A and B are shown apart, each in its own frame.
Chain A
Amino acid sequence: MELDLKKLELRNVNDKLQSLDRKTNERDFTIINPEGNHAICAGLNKEMNVTIKGHVGYYCAGMNKKANITIEGNVGTGVAENMMSGKVHVKGNASQSAGATAHGGLLIIDGDASSRCGISMKGADIIVKGSVGHMSGFMSQSGNLIVCGDAGEALGDSLYETNIYIKGNVKSLGADCVEKKMDKKHINKLKKFLKDAEIKNHKAESFKRYGSARKLYNFKIDNNY
């Protein structure tokens, strides 16, 4: 079913997708003319496929649960923020705070993501085929952040237990973020992610792994951080 945001109110479109009857067979939707609107497809909570044709604004696919959402364009701040499950695939670039606080699900960004990608993520998996901006993975708690390009300043600042994999250069590491050894199990896990995201031009072995030094977990009186 095609939903045209030039003709329909955004609120009605979101409402329709959010309150989809479980018994209906209509599970494939295409949204046209998004024109940079905010919060498109926020709060979807059932299995369905939505393709958005064009560029969107802030908080697209926020709080997503179970839905499979593809954006054929760029996304604004906070795509898939607080996602619980499902999959969000951005075919263009993403602005700041992509996948912020996301608990679960998979976020794939084909282009670059700007600053604070995966900030405070709590279990989601984020795969960025391009590069990420400064303070990515800031205070992230669990899940995986995989970047095929470079990372900006202060990567993984004050992070908890998120695994960060970077193929390219890291401009600088944030407080308490350190490079860690790539074990067989990490390589195998990464291989699966790369396969899921259909990434063929990067070998899992060529990535570096970063994580928490766990020095901020307990207060130390002479802590330098």
Chain B
Amino acid sequence: MCGIVGIYLKNKKLENSLGSLLSKMLINMGSRGPDSAGFAIYKKEEKEKFKYSICINELNFKDFEERINKHIDAELKKNFDHVILKSSVKPKDMLNILKNHFHDVALVGYGKSIEIFKQVGDPSEVVKKFKLDEYSGSHAIGHTRMATESAITTDGSHPYSTGEDECLVHNGSLSNHNNLRRKLKKNGVNFDSENDTEVAAGYISNNLSNKKNLKETLKDSLKDLDGFYTFITGTKDGFAVLRDEIACKPAVIAETDDYVAIASEFQAMAHLPEVNNAKIFEPEPGVVYSWGN
């Protein structure tokens, strides 16, 4: 089943309440996905430094801090079992450092504005643990998971990073993910889990690194990804939505002068300001919708 949500603010005045708006959306979608939850928040872009969202799992924060300081200069901010690491180290080098010296942590996302948090458990608990209510930002996407294709783990939780400041959430399941994973591995794409959405994320990031733009990539996925899905992809400037052509998986969009919101079900948006006067519609199958991109 799974629930997906996203909100993009047109009115900057709402930026301080982004976290609390998203938090209620996720809690409400707990009925579609009680196993795990996650979200990506986009904040004001850093000028020079990169932000790395790292899940440190069982590691002690102090130990992690000591170890990372041996390798790089970094500013760390702990949030439950995640750490936002701010550093001028470039993504390519950072990935190598983590790969060679930090097998016990997981990089869940990176970029100049994105921060990703995800964890197993009921969405209402997860948003509390990460204090999502206190977050501000320009846009955000989130996911509540009912596990089908792989185990209930942090690795199997969404959003999935698809590259710098990019991520993906998915409602549905893919049937050709094993074949596609094999193909992408040959192209040098790394996978950390057996999850189908991670393959879609790998597919998108592989296409984007081959200089295709997000719209083209999403269009291509209509022929390359077999299965059913509603995708929301987040980028530094906004988000995009795509439903497969059969469109078994739901999605509803509400747009006002102040924001655009998307969710699997309208009830996830019922608390949004002025939503009863919003333009509400269902995205058409096979059509890429995007805001801010």
Q: Which of A104-126 contact B (CB under 8 A)?
A: 112, 114-115
Q: Is the CB of A77 within 8 A of B250?
A: yes
Query: Number of residue pairs across A and B with beta carbons under 8 Å?
Result: 51
The answer to whether B258 has its CB under 8 Å from any CB of chain A is: no
When C-beta atoms are compared, the residue in chain A nearest to B266 turns out to be A36
Kindly state the interface size class of chain B when it binds its partner.
10 to 19
When C-beta atoms are compared, the residue in chain B nearest to A72 turns out to be B276
Instruction: Chain B residues near A56: list those with CB within 8 A.
Output: 266
Q: Is the CB of B270 within 8 A of A96?
A: no
Q: Is the CB of B250 within 8 A of A35?
A: no
When C-beta atoms are compared, the residue in chain B nearest to A111 turns out to be B281
Q: Known contacts A76-B266, A114-B282, A134-B285; is A95 also within 8 Å of B276 by CB?
A: no
Instruction: Chain A residues near B284: list those with CB within 8 A.
Output: 114, 133
The answer to whether B265 has its CB under 8 Å from any CB of chain A is: yes
Instruction: Chain A residues near B282: list those with CB within 8 A.
Output: 93, 95-96, 114
Query: How far is B269's CA from A112's CA once the two chains are assembled, in angstroms?
Result: 20
Q: Is the CB of A37 within 8 A of B247?
A: no
Expressed in whole angstroms, the minimum distance between the Cβ of A40 and any Cβ of chain B is 11
The answer to whether A168 has its CB under 8 Å from any CB of chain B is: no
Q: Is the CB of B266 within 8 A of A55?
A: yes
When C-beta atoms are compared, the residue in chain B nearest to A77 turns out to be B250
Q: Is the CB of A115 within 8 A of B265?
A: no
Query: How far is B285's CA from A37's CA once the two chains are assembled, in angstroms?
Result: 24
Q: Is the CB of B265 within 8 A of A55?
A: no
Q: Is the CB of A35 within 8 A of B280?
A: no
The answer to whether A149 has its CB under 8 Å from any CB of chain B is: no
Query: How far is B276's CA from A84's CA once the two chains are assembled, in angstroms?
Result: 30
Expressed in whole angstroms, the minimum distance between the Cβ of A111 and any Cβ of chain B is 9
Q: Is the CB of B250 within 8 A of A36?
A: no
Our pick among B268, B271, B276, B281 for the contact of A93 (Cβ within 8 Å) is B281
Instruction: Chain B residues near A38: list those with CB within 8 A.
Output: 267
Expressed in whole angstroms, the minimum distance between the Cβ of B290 and any Cβ of chain A is 20
**Residue in A55, A93, A96, A133 with the greatest tally of chain B CB atoms within 10 Å:** A55
Mask of A52-77 contacts with B, CB within 8 angstroms, 1/0:
00111110000000000000011011
Query: How far is B74's CA from A40's CA once the two chains are assembled, in angstroms?
Result: 53
Instruction: Chain A residues near B265: list those with CB within 8 A.
Output: 36, 57-58, 76
Q: Is the CB of B276 within 8 A of A36?
A: no
The answer to whether B252 has its CB under 8 Å from any CB of chain A is: yes
Instruction: Chain A residues near B247: list those with CB within 8 A.
Output: 96, 114-115, 133-134
Instruction: Chain A residues near B280: list those with CB within 8 A.
Output: 55, 74, 92-93
When C-beta atoms are compared, the residue in chain A nearest to B263 turns out to be A36
Q: Which of B136-163 contact A (CB under 8 A)?
A: none
Expressed in whole angstroms, the minimum distance between the Cβ of A141 and any Cβ of chain B is 22
Q: Is the CB of A95 within 8 A of B269?
A: no
Instruction: Chain B residues near A57: list those with CB within 8 A.
Output: 265-267
Q: Which of A13-41 contact B (CB under 8 A)?
A: 35-38
Instruction: Chain B residues near A74: list those with CB within 8 A.
Output: 252, 266, 280
Query: How far is B252's CA from A76's CA once the two chains are assembled, in angstroms?
Result: 9
Our pick among B267, B281, B285 for the contact of A36 (Cβ within 8 Å) is B267
Expressed in whole angstroms, the minimum distance between the Cβ of A125 and any Cβ of chain B is 23
Q: Is the CB of A55 within 8 A of B276?
A: yes
Query: How far is B285's CA from A57's CA once the two chains are assembled, in angstroms?
Result: 20
Query: How far is B97's CA from A198's CA once the two chains are assembled, in angstroms?
Result: 69
Query: How far is B141's CA from A172's CA once the two chains are assembled, in angstroms?
Result: 35
Q: Is the CB of B250 within 8 A of A95?
A: yes
Query: How far is B267's CA from A73's CA once the two chains are assembled, in angstroms?
Result: 13
Mask of B188-219 contacts with A, CB within 8 angstroms, 1/0:
00000000000000000000000000000000
Mask of B235-273 contacts with A, CB within 8 angstroms, 1/0:
000000000000100101000000000000111111100
Instruction: Chain B residues near A114: list those with CB within 8 A.
Output: 247, 282, 284
When C-beta atoms are compared, the residue in chain A nearest to B284 turns out to be A133
Instruction: Chain A residues near B276: list those with CB within 8 A.
Output: 54-55, 73
For this complex, 10 residue pairs linking A to B, each with C-beta atoms less than 8 Å apart, are A36-B265, A36-B267, A37-B267, A74-B266, A93-B282, A95-B282, A96-B247, A114-B284, A133-B247, A133-B284
Mark B residues whose CB is within 8 Å of A. Answer: 247, 250, 252, 265-271, 276, 280-282, 284-285
Mark A residues whose CB is within 8 Å of B. Answer: 35-38, 54-58, 73-74, 76-77, 92-93, 95-96, 112, 114-115, 133-134
Given contacts A57-B267, A76-B252, A76-B266, 17 further A-B contacts (CB under 8 A): A35-B267, A36-B266, A36-B268, A36-B269, A37-B267, A55-B280, A73-B276, A74-B252, A74-B280, A93-B281, A96-B247, A114-B247, A115-B247, A115-B285, A133-B247, A133-B285, A134-B285
Closest 8 CB pairs of A and B: A36-B267, A36-B266, A35-B270, A36-B270, A114-B282, A74-B280, A55-B266, A57-B267
